[in-house]
Amino acid sequence: MITMPSGHKLRNRDMTAAWRHVDVTLLALVAATTIFGSIMVFSATRHSDSPYTFITKHVIYVIVGVAVMAVAAALDYQKLRDWSRLIYVGSVAALGAVLIPGVGSVHKNIRAWFDVGPFQIQPAEFAKIATIVTVASYLGSVLDRVGFREMFVSLVLLGLPMGLILLQPDLGTTLVFVVVGVGLMVVGGIPARYLIVLLLLGLGGVVGILKSNTLDQYQKDRLTSFVTPEKASEKAIYNTRQAQLAIASGSLTGKGLFDGPQTKGGFVPEQQTDFIFTVPGEELGFLGSGLLVVLLGGIVYRIWRTAQLARDPVGRLMCVGVLCMIVFHVFENVGMNLGIMPVTGIPLPFVSYGGSSTITTFAAMGLVMNVHMRRFA
C-alpha cells in the first residue's frame, strides 16, 4: 500500500524538528546560574538548626520551574498567542481576587499572596508572563502601521494589572511592568514622538505620586533613602549598609564559600531573597560575584539574540518582554545590593529563594526557548 505523506505527519516532523533547534547555550547558562544560585541560597540559610529546610524547598521550586519551562517551550507560541486573551483575563481575575481580604493574605503589609498549604502563590509574578504574552501577541499581530490606537490599547492592557498590583501595594513589581511596557512599545513600533510624550507624562506622574499619599511611608523611605540617606528610616539604612559591608569585605577572592562572617552570623536581613547577592559578594569576592553578573549577562544576551532571530514580530516581542523583565530584575536587585538602586523587594532571577519568582523566571525562559526553537518554522 502506498501512503501519501499527510500534513499531519509533516507537522509531527516539524514538532520533533523544533527540539533540535533548542538554544543549548542558553540552557547551559541557565543551568549554571541556577546551580550557582542554589549554593548561595544554601550558604545563606544553612546556619540555622534545620540547615536543609530552605534549600530543600528551593530545589523543589527549581524542579517545578524546569517542568514549567519545558511545558512553556513545548507549546507553540502561536498557540499561546491564540490563548492570550484567556491567559490575560485569568491573570487579571487572580490579581483582583488576591485583593479581597480573606482570599489574599497579607505579608509585610502587602496583600499579594494566596496561601496554599505551606506555600504562598503570588499572582503578580505570573501576571508578568501573562501580560508579556498578551501585549506581545497584540502588538505583534497588528497588520497596519502601529499608531495611537495601538499604543492606547497596549497601555490599557498594561495598566489594568499594574493598577491592581499597585493596590496591593507592591511598588517593585509595578516598576517591572513599567519597564516591560516601555520595551514592548519601543520594539513594537510605537512612533518615537508618542514615546517621548509618554516619557514626559511618566516623569510627571512619578513626582505626583511621591507628593501624594498613594505610597506607604516605608515605600517612600526606601525610594528616598537612595537619594537622601540621612532622612531614611533606620531599617532601610541598616539593610543596605549590612549588604554593602558584606560585599565590600569580599575583595577579590572573598572569605571562602560558607565562611562569610556576615552570612554565617545572619546579619544581612532577608539574605536568601532580596539580598542574596551579598553571599557571593562576601564569600566569593569579585571573581565569584562578577562571574554571576557575567552569567546573567550571558543569559540576557541569548534572549536578545533570540529576539533578533525570531521568525515573526510576536516571537520577537515575547523575547523583548522577557528581556526587559530579567534585565530590570537583575539591575534593580544587584544595584540595590551595591547601593546604586533604591531598595524594593525584587528577587534576583535564578538565584533568590522564592517559589513564585523562580517558577515565573523559568516559565519566561521556556517562552524564549519556544521562540528560538521555532525560528525556522
**Residue whose C-alpha cell is 505620586:** 209
Question: Which strand ranges, in their side-by-side order, compose the sheet holding 119-121?
Answer: 105-107, 110-116, 119-121
Query: Cα(83)–Cα(133) distance, rounded to whole angstroms?
Result: 9
Is 261 an interacting residue with respect to another protein (CB under 8 A)? yes
> Residue 62 or residue 184: which is nearer to another protein going by CB?
184
**Per rule CB under 8 A, count of chain residues that contact another protein:** 63
| Closest distance to another protein from the beta carbon of 131 (Å) | 18
Query: Cα(126)–Cα(46) distance, rounded to whole angstroms?
Result: 29
**Residue whose C-alpha cell is 545563606:** 44
CB 154 within 8 A of CB 190: yes
Is 324 an interacting residue with respect to another protein (CB under 8 A)? yes
| Closest distance to another protein from the beta carbon of 267 (Å) | 4
Is 245 an interacting residue with respect to another protein (CB under 8 A)? yes
Is 169 an interacting residue with respect to another protein (CB under 8 A)? no
Is 3 an interacting residue with respect to another protein (CB under 8 A)? no
Q: How far is CA 156 from CA 96, 160, 170, in A?
A: 16, 6, 19
**What's 215's DSSP letter?**
S
Is 25 an interacting residue with respect to another protein (CB under 8 A)? no
Backbone conformation region of residue 190, classed left if phi is above 0, alpha if psi is from -120 to 50, else beta: beta
> Residue 74 or residue 258: which is nearer to another protein going by CB?
258
The Cβ of residue 178 has, within 10 Å, a number of other Cβ atoms equal to: 16
Residue from the set 8, 20, 108, 211 that interacts with another protein by CB under 8 A? 108
Query: Cα(348)–Cα(293) distance, rounded to whole angstroms?
Result: 11
Q: Nearest CA to 138 among 149, 160, 125, 154?
A: 154
Select from 82-90, 166-174, 185-193, 201-209 the region that touches another protein (CB under 8 A).
Answer: 185-193
Residue from the set 188, 315, 342, 366 that interacts with another protein by CB under 8 A? 188
Is 361 an interacting residue with respect to another protein (CB under 8 A)? no
| Closest distance to another protein from the beta carbon of 180 (Å) | 12
CB 60 within 8 A of CB 357: no
Is 217 an interacting residue with respect to another protein (CB under 8 A)? no
Is 244 an interacting residue with respect to another protein (CB under 8 A)? yes
Helix (H, G, I), strand (E, B) or coil at 277: coil
Is 193 an interacting residue with respect to another protein (CB under 8 A)? no
Q: How far is CA 207 from CA 156, 177, 236, 345, in A?
A: 22, 18, 21, 21
Is 265 an interacting residue with respect to another protein (CB under 8 A)? yes
Instruction: Name 115's bridge partners.
Output: 120
Instruction: Name 120's bridge partners.
Output: 115
| Closest distance to another protein from the beta carbon of 289 (Å) | 6
- Letters for 302-321 (x = contact with another protein by CB under 8 A, - = none) are --x--xx---xx--x---x-
Find the binding residues for another protein in span 111-150 (CB under 8 A): 118, 139, 142-146
**What's 141's DSSP letter?**
T
Is 236 an interacting residue with respect to another protein (CB under 8 A)? no
> Residue 161 or residue 285: which is nearer to another protein going by CB?
285
Integer Rg of the chain from CA? 21
Is 180 an interacting residue with respect to another protein (CB under 8 A)? no
**Residue whose C-alpha cell is 499561546:** 80
| Closest distance to another protein from the beta carbon of 300 (Å) | 6
Cell numbers representing residue 230 in the block? 540621612
Q: Which residues bind another protein (CB under 8 A)?
A: 48-50, 53, 107-108, 118, 139, 142-146, 183, 186-189, 238, 241-242, 244-245, 247-252, 261-262, 264-265, 267, 270, 281, 285-286, 289-290, 293-294, 296-297, 300-301, 304, 307-308, 312-313, 316, 320, 323-324, 327, 330-331, 334-335, 338-340
